[in-house]
Structure 1
């Protein structure tokens, strides 16, 4: 069940009792996250954005991907809720987008009735980013 990133709205996360663990609800939303994680380029982008926020050009260079592919993968990961797009401020006034990984862990569970669950542990945001 593969869908293009433009056909799927952003994945919605429901808060659990724990402030840093969220549950992805709905079969389509779960599938969207799993599709993103199944893509080797997306996993490489998640690794490249795990320590520092990077621009699309920086991600493209770090992952050795064409820029057009990088933008498609960034959109897929952002829509899946695995990356966050932020604005990088510049002293010249020319601001740009930057991307940073928002998740630490993703846990998939299968219930007895074949129901699938997906829990996502969010990364702690540094104090400077709050």
Structure 2
């Protein structure tokens, strides 16, 4: 019994040490304007809405678009103001206010459970 409880405690501690999870990673990447951090979670096809123009892009295209956006809009701050989960726990979303060198944006993102992975399938940057 002692060995089992020690193993479970070790697994829980390791989970906390390795990272907080996809949702927290995406929030952290948005705070930093970190395209590589976001790219880790991008789905094969990603819907991106920037200033009212929405389109679906491949992962490679989405990386280029995000890199361009963050190079022109250095993030000064990102404050998460709302988050939630869809019933059934299959998806999560976050909404926040992003202040950049190029303006202020209401930023939304949507994470979807896909098999054993969690993917980022929608991003919105709306001018405030």
Normalised by the length of structure 1, the TM-score is: 0.25
Report the structure, 1 or 2, having the larger strand content.
2
